[in-house]
Amino acid sequence: LERFIAVITEHFGGKWPFWLSPRQVLVIPVSKPYYDYANEVRDKLWDAGVYADVDNGPETMKKKILLGETSQYNFIFVVGQDEMDNRAVNVRNRDADKKARAEIMPLDDVVAKLVSLKAERRLENNI
């Protein structure tokens, strides 16, 4: 078992597939007024069986995103006023080429897609 874990760790280089990753989703609120919505998103993900964290720290949003990327989270969800009004999240994929503002998707759709991605045990992080 130990040898297998060593081989698979070396193979993925720390970028675990979604279904195996201990750091699946990081939710980042744009500012303090959106902390409650970020926690609500995290709770909804946890209830669906997805590992999710919220970064409510004092750092700037840019720094939080950078820390999430270096921590190898599969997906980073940024939430602000637009997302809260539409019950949605801004989805950033770790493996995407584009690192700027990503696609805004309804929260229920994202949760369903993440649960499906986890169940399918695919190696790519496409939702």
Tokens of 10: 């070396």
Q: Copy the structure tokens of residue 125.
A: 């992080």
Write down the H helix ranges in the chain. 2-12, 35-47, 61-70, 81-86, 107-120
Give the model confidence (pLDDT) of 39-93 as tens digits: 999 999 999 999 999 999 999 989 999 999 899 899 999 999 999 999 999 998 8
Model pTM score? 0.88
| pLDDT on residue 48 | 95
Distance CA 121, CA 116 (A): 9
What is the spatial distance between Cα 115 and Cα 18, in angstroms, rounded to a whole number?
10
What pLDDT, in 10s, does the model give residues 2-32?
Answer: 898 888 888 888 788 888 888 999 999 999 9
Arithmetic mean of pLDDT, 94-118:
84
